[in-house]
């Protein structure tokens, strides 16, 4: 049953995110900074989910999944790269909304193609740097013989428990790295939305307020879901939650959220729905 459920979720994740990328690339009206970031967010969600779900599905078949230490570290490294890139992309999207709502006349200057691609590049570089921090800590550990991970993928806390080495410092360094990135990106998001809220409250037009709120609601929903789960796992002390709680929360942010993001960003987005309608008409006239 679990195999079929998670296979279905993975299929929806791939179809939803690939559809978002294809739609944005093929529709000229979606060639804006906001949708550039959204297309990269969809790509990151595909990579994030693909780094974990296929191996997890193999385990659900009942055959068990045997991975070498190197393979386990590689899986986790890829997952951290995409997961961290998502944090930076969510922050970039918040800044984009801030400029669009608070400084619309300067939008073309502040969100030029050069700046947009720079923000996207920083997102991926930030993901790689954080991944190297986690991977470097794992590479410094010693493992005494074959071990069974009490998790559905090679997550850092689960792998840490299998080490024969002293993990007192090793367990702290990644938390500092992940915590710093979370604090930095949350700060950008919080400041952006504080100014957005102030600007919206000053608007005299009810229609303008409604349009601004609807533009930000989907992004705030995605931010709340994602940051809530990664903070629980990578920043809170490991003694504050059980392994079972860790598994449940990990399933949510690695498997469920990549499936939900296309729905969150498309269901209430007029531009996406209109582009989808036109694309459907072109395919099925």
pTM of the complete model: 0.89
Q: Region 266-270: what's the mean pLDDT?
A: 74
* 63/2: higher pLDDT: 2
CATH H-level superfamily of 2-283: Rhodopsin 7-helix transmembrane proteins (1.20.1070.10)
Q: Tell me which residue has tokens 């609807």.
A: 214
Instruction: Write the pLDDT tens digit of every residue in 136-189.
Output: 888 887 777 667 776 777 777 777 777 777 777 777 888 888 889 989 999 999
Instruction: Write the pLDDT tens digit of every residue in 8-35.
Output: 999 999 999 999 999 899 888 889 999 9
Interior CA angle at 78 toward 48 and 84, to 5°?
A: 65
The per-residue pLDDT for 150 is 67
Report DSSP letters for the chain, one per residue.
-HHHHHHHHHHHHHHHHHHHHHHHHH-GGG-SHHHHHHHHHHHHHHHHHHTTHHHHHHHHTTS-----HHHHHHHHHHHHHHHHHHHHHHHHHHHHHHHHHH-GGGHHHHT-HHHHHHHHHHHHHHHHHHHHHHHHHHHT--B-S----SSSS--HHHHHTTBSS--TTTTHHHHHHHHHHHHHHHHHHHHHHHHHHHHHHH---HHHHHHHHHHHHHHHHHHHHHHHHHHHHHTS-GGGS-HHHHHHHHHIIIIIHHHHHHHHHHHT-HHHHHHHHHHHHHH--
Alpha carbons 136 and 10: distance in angstroms, whole number: 30
Q: Region 90-107: what's the mean pLDDT?
A: 92
Q: Where are the domains of the chain?
A: 2-283
Confidence class for position 210, pLDDT limits 50, 70, 90: confident
Q: Tell me which residue has tokens 């303008």.
A: 208
Instruction: Write the pLDDT tens digit of every residue in 35-89.
Output: 999 999 999 999 999 998 888 888 777 666 667 777 888 888 999 999 999 999 9
Share of the chain above pLDDT 90, in %: 35
């Amino acid at each position: 049953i679990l195999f079929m459920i998670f296979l279905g979720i993975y299929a929806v994740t791939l179809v939803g995110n690939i559809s978002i990328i294809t739609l944005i690339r093929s529709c000229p009206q979606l060639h804006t900074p906001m949708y550039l970031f959204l297309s990269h967010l969809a790509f990151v969600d595909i990579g994030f989910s693909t780094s974990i779900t296929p191996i997890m599905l193999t385990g659900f078949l009942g055959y068990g999944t045997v991975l070498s230490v190197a393979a386990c570290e590689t899986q986790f490294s890829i997952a951290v790269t995409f997961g961290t890139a998502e944090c930076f992309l969510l922050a970039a999207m918040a800044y984009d909304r801030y400029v669009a709502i608070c400084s619309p006349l300067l939008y073309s200057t502040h969100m030029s193609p050069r700046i947009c691609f720079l923000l996207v590049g920083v997102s991926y570089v930030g993901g790689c740097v954080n991944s190297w921090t986690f991977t470097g800590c794992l590479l410094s550990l010693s493992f005494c013989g074959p071990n069974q991970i009490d998790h559905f993928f090679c997550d850092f806390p689960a792998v840490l428990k299998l080490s024969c080495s002293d993990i007192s410092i090793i367990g702290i360094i990644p938390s500092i790295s992940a915590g710093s990135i979370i604090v930095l990106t949350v700060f950008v998001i919080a400041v952006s939305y504080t100014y957005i809220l102030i600007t919206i409250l000053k608007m005299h037009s009810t229609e303008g307020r409604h349009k601004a709120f609807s533009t930000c609601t989907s992004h705030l929903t995605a931010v709340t879901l994602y940051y809530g789960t990664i903070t629980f796992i990578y920043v809170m002390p490991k003694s504050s939650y059980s392994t079972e709680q860790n598994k449940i929360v990990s399933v949510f942010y690695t498997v469920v959220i990549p499936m939900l993001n296309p729905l969150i960003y498309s269901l209430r987005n007029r531009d996406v729905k209109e582009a989808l309608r036109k694309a459907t008409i072109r395919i099925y006239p």
